[in-house]
Amino acid sequence: MSNNNQIIAGIDEAGRGPLFGPVVACAVIFNEKIDITEIKDSKKISASKRQKVYDKLIQENINYKIGIVNANEIDEINILNATKKAMLLAVNNLSIRPYKLLIDGNQLIKTSINQEAVVKGDQKVAEISAASIIAKVKRDKIIESYNKIYPMFQLSKHKGYGTKLHFDLLNKYGPSEIHRQTFKPVSGMINSNDMKKHESMPIIRFGINLINKGFNLKELTINEVFSVIKYFNFDKTIYVLSLNKIRKDSVILNFIETIKEKDSVNKVRIDVIYSDDFSKNPKIKYSCKIY
């Protein structure tokens, strides 16, 4: 775009309706004219097609940023205000200040930037359609990480929405702390002792904290000897081990040998937390690098 007066940002969100997880908003600016023939509202295309369009979109000359508001804050300020906050975060994160915002729906946000609400904008405005797709893919990735934390809820199948399967599993296991406690039927449910025990595990606490920091979990394994999370940070593979401090050295040495045999990446880091650290934010007690 030649000057600031022509810069338009499209805004949309994903995750207003689910019982579980955050609401995610995206702000998108097209820096030049791009092929928009495949850009459609994310709700109207399959997950595989959406991923392909997303992969193509982020390779284009666009400027986009994400805003995320988690379930706890949704409960505190309500979903409408949380959605507006996520949108504002996305806009404020942009490296370019747009001249005008085109926002999907009928609500505006608190900003001095010129803005317009566009009902069904995800079907009318390419920038909003792009924002819809990116927000949906980003949220789905977050839910996939939570699926490793809470496999009992089978989140991959419903993404946290209020399906019959989700209701049945909620009745069986009780809600997690990532469920929206003010949403029905979650608001009328009691957290089970088994769920509280699961969420008190250091590896689970650490995993939730990683997701809150924006990391995607690739693996989470829990067993009697030790538990492990695998995630990526740029070009580095990181394993987080939760283990008994008395058996630390032997377990780490054996794990390092296993990693050397199966992991072909150039950079690996192992972080260790202790299995008796039941604080809200378990601390890394030991760290080593493998090259």
Q: Is residue 149 part of a domain?
A: no
- Give the Cβ contact number of residue 78 at 10 Å: 11
Q: What is the share, in percent, of the chain residues with pLDDT greater than 90? A: 75
Q: Give the gyration radius of the chain's Cα atoms.
A: 21
Whether 264 has a pLDDT exceeding 70, the answer reads no
How far apart CA 234 and CA 188 sit, in angstroms, is: 42
Give pLDDT, residue 259.
Answer: 83
Do 15 and 119 have their domain in common?
Answer: yes
Residue 257's domain is classified under what CATH number? 3.40.1350.10
Q: What is the dihedral of CA 73, 89, 66, 157, to 10 degrees?
A: 20
Helix (H, G, I), strand (E, B) or coil at 287: strand
Average pLDDT along the chain = 92
Q: Is residue 182 part of a domain?
A: no
Question: Which pTM does this prediction carry?
Answer: 0.92
Q: Is residue 287 part of a domain?
A: yes
> 258 near 225, Cβ under 8 Å?
no
User: 47 or 4, which is more confident?
Assistant: 47
Q: Is residue 289 part of a domain?
A: yes
* Domain end call among 140, 164, 181: 140
Give pLDDT, residue 4.
Answer: 64
**pLDDT per residue over 132-177, tens digit each?**
999 999 999 999 999 999 999 999 999 999 999 999 999 999 999 9
* Domain end call among 90, 119, 140: 140
Give pLDDT, residue 265.
Answer: 57
Name the least confident of 115-129, 147-161, 245-259. 245-259
Do 207 and 131 have their domain in common?
Answer: no
Question: What total number of domains does the chain contain?
Answer: 2
Whether 2 has a pLDDT exceeding 70, the answer reads no
**pLDDT per residue over 208-222, tens digit each?**
999 999 999 999 999
Do 136 and 215 have their domain in common?
Answer: no
State the Cα angle at 256 between 251 and 260, rounded to 5°: 150
Name the least confident of 29-38, 94-103, 117-126, 188-197. 29-38
Residue 243's beta-bridge partner residues? 226, 274
* Inter-axis angle of helices 126-149 and 47-57, nearest 10: 120
Residue 100's domain is classified under what CATH number? 3.30.420.10
Q: Give which of 26, 25, 32 is closest to 7, Cα–Cα.
A: 32
Q: Give which of 95, 90, 100 is closest to 13, Cα–Cα.
A: 90
Q: What are phi and psi of 20, to 5 degrees?
A: -135, 140
Tokens of 111: 């900003």
Whether 41 has a pLDDT exceeding 90, the answer reads no
User: 33 or 82, which is more confident?
Assistant: 82
Banded model confidence at residue 1, pLDDT cuts 50, 70, 90: very low
Give pLDDT, residue 129.
Answer: 92
**pLDDT per residue over 179-217, tens digit each?**
999 999 999 998 899 999 999 999 999 999 999 999 999
CA distances from 154 to 159, 161, 244 (A): 8, 11, 29
Give pLDDT, residue 282.
Answer: 97
Q: Kindly list the strands in the beta sheet with 226-233, ordered across the sheet, starting from the edge strand earlier in the chain.
A: 217-222, 226-233, 236-243, 268-274, 286-290
- Determine the structural domain holding residue 135 and report its residue range: 4-140
Do 27 and 113 have their domain in common?
Answer: yes
User: 169 or 248, which is more confident?
Assistant: 169
Q: Is residue 179 part of a domain?
A: no
* Domain end call among 96, 117, 140: 140
Do 110 and 9 have their domain in common?
Answer: yes
